[in-house]
Structure 1
Amino acid sequence: MEPVNTTFQHVPKFSPGKGKMPDLQKLFGSLKNVTCPYNPEPKVIGEHTTNLNTCYNLNVSLDGSMWKNDQTMLKKVVPTDNGLKILMNFNCIILNMSQMKNGDLLLTVVGSPILKVLPSGTTELKDSCYDVSPLQPFGVHATPDNKVIISVFDKESIQEVVQRKVIVMNQLGFREKVFLNDHHNKPLFTLPRRVTSNNVNIISVVDLLSDNCYARTVFLDLSGNIKNIYGGHHSVNSYENQFRPRDILSLPLNNFLVTERLNVLHILNSEGESLTFYNTLSLGIHLPYSMCFSGQYLFISSNPSSNQNENCKDKAKIYKLENFEWY
């Protein structure tokens, strides 16, 4: 008996059937090879150097304009042949941002329990309807169906934090779900930071475990059940090189990407289980940080100053990648 071939060069595409019994192939359909290879190798097709030492958050609109921020400034820029042209500047300390379906930009700001909003087409930051008083919001993620997911806490120090939650609000600012404890009444999070979700209603949270930025990623369903906890890949992470995620992003096909300080991009499935990882140095990306997905392209910022070298004068860069279609 010949061995079964388990190596595939292409992803089979299902062709639905249209017939009736007894023709089973017409009834049920069949698998056919498609011409595009499975998960082609990602490639950097664009690179821009910013005027920031760090790029903590990144959002790219379909019109090509970009929102980015460092510790003190939020900027809107547009790529040109001569570099990034600044369109807007805002002096504020932004923790996280997310763009809503209508183009409004939601922002979490240091010291404000109310999320800020920059309505599409305007130039003035305003208070939004999303209020998590008396707590401090950090991560924010706007879903395609106009829900807003926010991670909140009461203290910056892990040793002092008491309240740590993830809140789901509707577009009017009413709380629909609050994730605080598991079914054993134990806290779900230590210090929740970045948050995202995919189209199959899995919420992912970067959960800080120590003041040294050691962390994990927690994956929940809408009932608050933990689907998975990811603490890094065994080929990369160890006691000496503990998992330090920077950002997490959901892709259109429901998988997750996680950037890590060790020049690693982790690829996880729709429930947070490891599929593989990339050494970003092979793509020319040093110290990846924030990410966003726009159209068919993945954008990643690099933060040279995040290597804790106080003498580092390199500016953050933004990379545009194609061929990132993880199934």
Structure 2
Amino acid sequence: MALLPSGDLLLSTEESNLKTISCSSSKVEPTKYSVNPLITLAVHVTIDHKILVGAREVQPNHFPVNGPRQVIMMTIDGRIEKVYHMDNKGKQMFTVPRRITTDNDNNIYVIDILNEDWAGKIVALDETNGVRWIYSGHPDINKEHTFKPVALVATKSDNIIVTESTHHIIHILNISGECIHYMNTKDQLGIQLPNSLDIDNAGILYIGCKTYNRAPDEAKIYTVQVSGF
């Protein structure tokens, strides 16, 4: 989901049209934002009110890939302005574009899931020239397990925070795609299974967590004060 300038919530529900939840009535309604004949996987609203949507072909599951996998940029009026789908070598750019965020310069960052084991990568784009860089995990961590990103968010300093839920890892990337810091949130913060992220104007980082299968615990949302990045 993403927040529209009106205050309404914009939702991706794996249908062709995005939906909204009204901030005044809590009513769910379809919108003019359509990727037909594809379905939506992710949605993000930029600081200059562009709508970014991750999309794929219609089929029950993400795999196998049987059609286009795209990130689509729309205007606030619903007009498609740009489609990211082929890289500089003419190959399909995405497999499952599952999460999207942008920084202060409207550079685009996408979590792309590569297989059924949820291995993935971060693809950094700009508005004109396509792929800037790709991050596939820190080599020290990759010795232990495959990089499986689940959420990302940009800070005021244009660094990107990425979570790996299963392994309780947070990666902090700079604008060039270098990992400037990583931490095990379970060991260092007592936060297990970090599964979603957001950050507010005061620099408070919100970390939403999931629970272990069949665990009786309720899922938690933590607030963390961040500074310096």
Q: What interval of TM-score do these two structures reach, taking the shorter chain for normalisation? A: over 0.9
Find the aligned partners of 1:224 and 1:326 in 2 and give their Cα distance.
Answer: 29
The answer for the alignment partner of 2:167 in structure 1 is: 262
Amino acid aligned to 2:195: Y
Aligned-pair CA distance for 1:164: 0.3
Once the two structures are TM-superposed, the CA of residue 271 in structure 1 deviates from its matched residue by 3.6
Q: Are the aligned partners of 1:158 and 1:209 in contact in 2 as well (CA < 8 Å)?
A: no
2-structure distance, mates of 1:326, 1:279 = 19
- Any conservation in 1 of the 2:53–2:72 contact (CA below 8 Å)? yes
Does 2:92 correspond to 1:187?
yes
**Distance apart, 1:222 and its partner CA:** 1.1
Q: Which has the higher contact order (CA 8 A, sep 6+)?
A: 1
Matched, 1:218 2:123: yes
Could you tell me the TM-score, scaled by structure 1's length?
0.66
List 4+ stretches of structure 1 deviating above 4 A.
none
Q: Residue in 2 aligned with 1:21?
A: none
Aligned with 1:197 (options 102, 117, 129): 102
- The residue aligned with 1:251 is 155
Alignment partner for residue 298 of structure 1, among 194, 202, 205?
205
Q: Which residue identity lines up with residue 251 of structure 1 in the other structure?
A: T
Deviation at 1:183, TM superposition (A): 2.0
CA distance in 2, matches of 1:158, 1:268: 29
Task: State whether structure 2 residue 106 is matched by structure 1 residue 174.
Answer: no
1:5-20, aligned counterparts within 5 Å? none
1:301 CA drift (Å): 1.1
Read off the aligned partner of 1:162 and give its amino acid letter: G
Cα deviation, residue 275, structure 1 = 1.1
Amino acid in structure 2 at the alignment position of 1:230: Y
Q: Shift of the alpha carbon at 1:122?
A: 2.2
Shift of 1:193: 0.8
Task: Tell me by how many angstroms 1:229 deviates.
Answer: 0.6
Measure, in 2, the Cα distance between the counterparts of 1:273 and 1:217: 11
Q: Which residue of 2 aligns with 1:318?
A: 221
| TM-score w.r.t. length of structure 2 | 0.93
1:138 is the counterpart of 2:45? no
Q: 2 CA distance for matches of 1:120 and 1:286?
A: 31
Corresponding residue of 2:63: 158
Residue 77 of structure 1 corresponds to none
Q: Give the letter aligned to residue 315 of structure 1.
A: E
Query: In 1, distance between residues paired with 2:129 and 2:87?
Result: 7
Equivalent pair of 2:46/2:106 in contact (CA under 8 Å): no
Larger Cα-atom Rg: 1
**Cα distance in structure 1, aligned partners of 2:174 and 2:9:** 28
Contact 1:228 1:271 in 2 (8 A): yes
Question: Secondary structure of the residue that 1:236 maps to in structure 2?
Answer: helix
Shift of 1:325: 2.4
Unaligned runs of 5+ in 1: 1-96
What residue in structure 1 maps to residue 195 of structure 2?
Answer: 289
Deviations 1:165-210 (A, max 9, x none): 0001010000111001012211111121111111112111111111
Q: Do residues 99 (structure 1) and 3 (structure 2) align?
A: yes
For the 8 Å contact 1:291–1:300, the answer to whether it is kept is yes
Aligned to 2:178: 273
Could you say if the C-alpha distance between residues 109 and 201 of structure 1 is closer, same or farther in structure 2, counting changes exceeding 3 Å? same
Deviations 1:26-69 (A, max 9, x none): xxxxxxxxxxxxxxxxxxxxxxxxxxxxxxxxxxxxxxxxxxxx
Selected match of 2:17 from 114, 119, 125: 114
Is 2:21–2:29's contact at 8 Å kept on the other side of the alignment? yes
The alignment partner of 2:142 has SS state of coil
Say if 1:317 and 1:186 are closer, same or farther in 2 by CA, change over 3 A: same
